[in-house]
Amino acid sequence: MDWDSRVGSYTYDQAVQELGPPLLSTKLNAGGTVADWPLGHHSSSVGFGVGGGGYGGGVGVGMGQTIGHDDYLRLTFDQNGTLKAWSRDYR
């Protein structure tokens, strides 16, 4: 989605219709709202291996780790409920 083109015209109500209710939302002292929608979970695997051996024998060592993060869309709306900024947040 091209969020830059929606700044200034997209509303909070449209976001709820399109994305569903936000996972988190906060009312700002200035009268706006910041809301987060989950985009999904992503993971990456990192591995390391050492192997050795010769005629008639062998030794192997391996280790790995999966690193995961969740992606969130953060939309900030002004006091009239119009989108004024957006960002993608990784946690």
pLDDT tens track for 26-56? 999 989 999 999 987 544 444 555 555 556 6
* Token couple for 54: 């010769």
How many CA atoms lie within 13 Å of 68's alpha carbon, on the beta-carbon side? 5
Rg (CA), the chain: 23
* H/E stretch holding 32: none
Q: Is the pLDDT of residue 77 over 50?
A: yes
Average pLDDT, the chain: 81
Please, are residues 25 and 58 in contact by the beta-carbon 8 Å criterion?
Answer: no
Q: Is the pLDDT of residue 87 over 50?
A: yes
- Taking alpha carbons only, the member of 13, 41, 14 closest to residue 1 is 14
Report the pLDDT averaged over residues 80-91.
Answer: 91
